[in-house]
Amino acid sequence: MRMQKVIFPLVVAVGFLSALALYGAGAGYQSGMFELGQAFGVLTYAAIAGISGAGLSIFYILWQRPLGLRLAVIFLSALVGLATFYLPYRQQLLAQKLPLIHDVTTDTSNPPAFVAVAPLRAGAPNPAEYDGAEVAALQREGYPDIRSKLFANAPQEVFAAAVKLAESSGWTLVAADQSQGRIEATVSTRWFGFKDDVVIRIQPGTAGASVFDMRSKSRVGLSDIGVNAARIRSFIKTLDSTLTNDADQIKVSEIKGSE
């Protein structure tokens, strides 16, 4: 009986401590306590502890048949352990499935260049320059949908909407030059606080339309596990929806004004 009293809290602790280690990997890297390799090491140990804790919890349930609060606590510990294992495991699967790149752009032939952001990337493992033809080929194979976007709106309208969307997305604006149609910003990921940089280029198209290009690049890491491509997709989709809604509102106001 005494041993069972000791075993129960130990088994429960493994699951919850693995989640704490998972959080600590990101928090430790953000605070400067860990280097990237060390943080990933903590992440690995957290995943191992998580799946081990889940297994121990299930074994304890089958062995002791706990009831009531005791069952609820150890079952929760098992779920926490499984989640702790699944998160980094899923990241690893994505890294293996997706292209091994960290620089994604809608225009691989003439990608938008970082200007104001370039000094901020000084010393970063991944330089500001575009990674070249090999990366372009990998992107076209892995993300064939990432292409330049044509908007019917005038460049100044697209520019204003893009700046507003970037600010509302929580990005840190570094530059917004309407005369050049260039917007640059830095985005920090939530968990590890990785910094990715974004540059947007808006050029005049035919018949008053606009050609929109966007590039998103990570400062560290070989694979971005699809984050930059997802960011570009989401931004263009939201921007397109915003400009369409604004145009519809203008039409409605014009109709009402003529009544």
Please give the full DSSP string across the chain, using - where no structure is assigned. -HHHHHHHHHHHHHHHHHHHHHHHHHHHHHHTSS-HHHHHHHHHHHHHHHHHHHHHHHHHHHHH---HHHHHHHHHHHHHHHHHHHHHHHHHHHHHHS-S-SEEES-SSSPPPPSSSGGGGTT-SS-SS---HHHHHHHHHH-TT---EEESS-HHHHHHHHHHHHHHTT-EEEEEETTTTEEEEEEE-SSS--EEEEEEEEEE-GGG-EEEEEEEEESS-S--TTHHHHHHHHHHHHHHHHHHHHHHHHHHHHHHHH-
Q: What is the reported pLDDT for 40?
A: 86
Chain mean pLDDT for the chain: 90
Residue 246 binned pLDDT confidence (cut-offs 50, 70, 90)? low
Q: Verify that 217 and 173 share a domain, yes or no.
A: yes
pLDDT beyond 80 at 247: no
Range of the domain at 68: 2-97
Give the gyration radius of the chain's Cα atoms: 24
Q: Verify that 125 and 239 share a domain, yes or no.
A: yes
Q: Verify that 239 and 112 share a domain, yes or no.
A: yes
Residue 253 binned pLDDT confidence (cut-offs 50, 70, 90)? very low
* Sequence letter at residue 123: G
Q: Verify that 150 and 212 share a domain, yes or no.
A: yes
Q: Single out the residue in 63, 97, 131 at which a domain terminates.
A: 97
Q: Who wins on pLDDT, 215 or 67?
A: 215
Q: Single out the residue in 47, 64, 97 at which a domain terminates.
A: 97
pLDDT beyond 90 at 31: no
Alpha-carbon gap, residue 172 to 186, rounded angstroms: 5
How many structural domains comprise the chain? 2
pLDDT beyond 80 at 249: no
Residue 177 binned pLDDT confidence (cut-offs 50, 70, 90)? very high
* Sequence letter at residue 240: D
pLDDT beyond 60 at 56: yes
- Mean pLDDT lowest among 58-72, 75-89, 136-150, 239-253: 239-253
